[in-house]
Amino acid sequence: MPTPSTSEPQQLLDLATRAAHAAGAELLRRYGRIEGLETKSSATDPVSDADRASERMLVEMILAERPDDGIIGEEGADHRSASGYTWVIDPLDGTVNYLYQLDNFSVSIAVEAATEGETPDGTGDPVVAVVCDPVTGRTFTATRGGGAFLDGRRLQVNEPVPMDRAMVATGFGYDPARRAAQGAFVARLLPRVRDIRRMGSAALDLCAVAAGTVDAYFEEGIQHWDRAAGALIVREAGGLMTEFTPTGQPSGWLAAGPSLHAVLTEFPGGGK
């Protein structure tokens, strides 16, 4: 594991923030003018030149200043780390919202440090996180052990939250059969909570938990780059984020304050 100098997390945070803002500006420049539209895992899983341009910009900025760091990106960036640090980037989280001009999308960047003896392949511990919302200019940040912030204001999850007062954000996969099972679980949960929100960007959903603008977020099938930065921001705001697979699908996660996290984990079909 790299031994960061005292200023290294701050240097990483500074570069991640500048890169996220530059990529966000590129997304806004292209907003409303979709070009190079293609689909990935299904006909409803889009990618466009905006995603690709944002990722190219992030990779160029990161490697120009930190050529020995690794990078893993949603749109194919794959650079091995020689420094022990790996950048995990989602250049446009909330792609479908972007396509429909629904103003809820983000640039999500996490920097992970390989743990002792492990290869730095992006499965290390996040040490720095930045999630930028280009439409509002909001920038969520966190450093491990240094707290979570929104534009410099310290964040804290809502705690305690009784289940019947909980505002719960979620999302659904692209596969119709998986969506049916996920919808059935939400149908069981809906009468037990205050309300459900489906906002379309996992990174911003996790930041909403950290900021207390929702009480919990869960989703199955989210990718490492969707959640890497948001996970650190939630944890540094006093929240818990653990695996959660209510319909038995892979890569399911739940983020909430401790009391609500415990209740939702025990909800029938909620735990692993």
Residues in touch with ligand LIP (CB under 6 A): 74, 90, 93-95, 171-172, 174, 200-202, 219, 222, 226
- Minimum distance, C-beta of residue 116 to ligand LIP, in the bound complex (Å): 31
Output the six-digit token pair for 110: 């996490």
| Torsion sign across C-alpha atoms 100, 101, 104, 108 | positive
- Minimum distance, C-beta of residue 138 to ligand LIP, in the bound complex (Å): 16
In the complex with ligand LIP, the residue whose CB is nearer, 114 or 231, is 231
- Minimum distance, C-beta of residue 90 to ligand LIP, in the bound complex (Å): 5
Give, to the nearest 10 degrees, the angle between helix 202-211 and helix 224-236. 10
Q: Helix-strand-coil percent breakdown of the chain, rounded to 5?
A: 35, 25, 40
Strands (E), 115-239: 125-132, 139-143, 147-150, 153-154, 167-170, 195-197, 216-220
CB atoms within 10 A of CB 143: 19
In the complex with ligand LIP, the residue whose CB is nearer, 208 or 222, is 222
In the complex with ligand LIP, the residue whose CB is nearer, 85 or 225, is 225
C-alpha span between 199 and 102 (Å, rounded) = 9
- Minimum distance, C-beta of residue 47 to ligand LIP, in the bound complex (Å): 8
In the bound state, the residue with its beta carbon closest to ligand LIP is: 171
In the complex with ligand LIP, the residue whose CB is nearer, 106 or 113, is 106
In the complex with ligand LIP, the residue whose CB is nearer, 200 or 270, is 200
- Minimum distance, C-beta of residue 229 to ligand LIP, in the bound complex (Å): 12
Output the six-digit token pair for 199: 């906002």
| Torsion sign across C-alpha atoms 193, 197, 200, 203 | negative
- Minimum distance, C-beta of residue 94 to ligand LIP, in the bound complex (Å): 5
In the complex with ligand LIP, the residue whose CB is nearer, 95 or 141, is 95
- Minimum distance, C-beta of residue 160 to ligand LIP, in the bound complex (Å): 26
C-alpha span between 214 and 82 (Å, rounded) = 39
Strands (E), 64-146: 70-73, 78-79, 85-93, 106-113, 125-132, 139-143
- Minimum distance, C-beta of residue 171 to ligand LIP, in the bound complex (Å): 3
In the complex with ligand LIP, the residue whose CB is nearer, 26 or 93, is 93
In the complex with ligand LIP, the residue whose CB is nearer, 79 or 224, is 224
Output the six-digit token pair for 164: 């019947």
Ramachandran angles phi, psi of 252, nearest 5°: -100, 140
> What does R_g of the chain's alpha carbons equal in angstroms?
18
C-alpha span between 120 and 69 (Å, rounded) = 9
